[in-house]
Amino acid sequence: MVNVLYFAWVRERIGLPKEQVETTAATVADLVSELKEREERYALAFSDLTALRVAVDQELTDFDAPLSGVREVAFFPPMTGG
């Protein structure tokens, strides 16, 4: 079980800020594949991975990051702080 968080337009497209996901995915990319299978809104949100960033346990990482032992995965567009 992993907490999945969505921010900005990813949150808007998927329609919720956070959910618990039952998964055995080995990597972030595997988790994304599982989510895309679920519903159209997920497929839409994850249609272009180059437009997305991912954080695992609140650290920015890549889509090939392993999910073993991970509590929290977040998907969001490129950040615009400052």
Q: Which residues bind another protein (CB under 8 A)?
A: 5, 7-9, 11, 55, 58-60, 74, 76-82
Cβ at position 73, least distance to another protein in Å: 12
Q: Is 81 exposed, middle or buried (0-12, 13-18, 19+ CB in 10 A)?
A: exposed
Q: CA-CA distance, 59 to 39, in Å (whole number)?
A: 27
Cβ at position 56, least distance to another protein in Å: 10
Report which of 82, 80, 78, 72 is spatially closest to residue 23, judged by C-alpha positions: 72
Cβ at position 34, least distance to another protein in Å: 22
Residue 31 or 56 having the CB closest to another protein: 56
Structure tokens given for 12: 């808007």
Residue 33 or 44 having the CB closest to another protein: 44
